[in-house]
Amino acid sequence: MERLDKVLANLGVGSRKEVKVMVKNGLVKVDGRPARDSGMQIDPEKAAIEVGGEILSYRKYIYLMMNKPGGVVSATFDNYDETVIDLLEDEHRIFEPFPVGRLDKDTVGLLIITNDGDLNHRLISPKWHVDKVYYAEIDKPVEDEDVRKFKEGVVLDDGYKCMSAKLEILAADENGSQVYVTIQEGKFHQVKRMFKSVGKEVVYLKRISFGPLKLDEQLPEGEYRELRKEEVEALQGK
């Protein structure tokens, strides 16, 4: 059960204050009867809600794909920097969503944003072995020896040994390298620290896939869209 005003706010009808006025003016009906109190408890998945004669379709969760730009932090709030939530429209922000995992401030690419806690747990818990693939540009030549070390499990600067990771060399010369990196964890600055442990530096990092979900290349950096039904179901393992 949830408050009527919260449900309507989540549907983008208006703020709780605005909903209260609508209820007072007789514009809101629940199961065919005028709502008397904006704070009344309803089951949003069963109740028939009308506003101004229009029947509303309730949804509890939202699922968004963002092509995260550089300079923005993967958080719901920050005292100093703009967050990925700040980039959302009010109609999506009202659901109080959060980023699934995080991308470093200067890292770009695929970021899933949702208010579905169960999906969040499924995607970030190492026990589910969800692949996250990154395209990276490195300052030095990446060699077969690095591929072997990544596969065996790189030891980070704090002594933590990473799970086996896949490193694929796309191009490499004395000027640097382009690679794909696939990991199943999400330690702080992990990809950058993995390369640092083999004496190299990441100069550009972009996440291109998360589990079965691939970044929509039609999505400019800083833009986002709602996931399609089949994309959500794929993430849920259906």
CATH number of the domain within which 147 lies: 3.30.70.1560
| Whether residues 143 and 118 fall in one domain | no
119 φ/ψ angles, rounded to the nearest 5 degrees? -65, -40
Tokens (6 digits) for 73 = 């932090």
Of 72, 227, 218, 215, residue with least CA distance to 135: 215
CATH of the domain at 13: 3.10.290.10
End-to-end CA distance of the chain: 27
What integer pLDDT is reported at residue 147 of this predicted model? Answer: 98
What integer pLDDT is reported at residue 126 of this predicted model? Answer: 75
What integer pLDDT is reported at residue 16 of this predicted model? Answer: 84
| Whether residues 100 and 149 fall in one domain | no
What integer pLDDT is reported at residue 179 of this predicted model? Answer: 98
| Whether residues 77 and 106 fall in one domain | yes
Q: What is the pLDDT of residues 192-219, one digit of tens each?
A: 999 999 999 999 999 999 999 999 999 9
| Whether residues 155 and 216 fall in one domain | no
Strands 132-138 and 98-99: unpaired
Per the annotation, the verdict on 104 as an active-site residue is: yes
SS3 for 216? coil
Domain span at residue 95 reads: 63-126+212-235
Q: Active-site residue among 104, 106, 118, 146?
A: 104
Residue type, 90: D
Ranges of beta strands (E only) in the chain are 2-3, 28-30, 33-34, 41-42, 49-51, 54-56, 63-68, 98-99, 108-114, 132-138, 166-173, 176-183, 202-210, 213-214, 224-226
| Whether residues 142 and 192 fall in one domain | yes
How far is residue 119's CA from residue 131's CA, in Å, rounded to a whole number?
15
Taking the whole predicted model, whether its pTM rises above 0.85 is answered as no
What integer pLDDT is reported at residue 15 of this predicted model? Answer: 84
Residues of the chain with confidence (pLDDT) below 70 = none
Side-by-side strand order, sheet with 54-56: 33-34, 28-30, 49-51, 54-56
| Whether residues 141 and 186 fall in one domain | yes
| Whether residues 163 and 195 fall in one domain | yes
How far is residue 167's CA from residue 138's CA, in Å, rounded to a whole number?
12
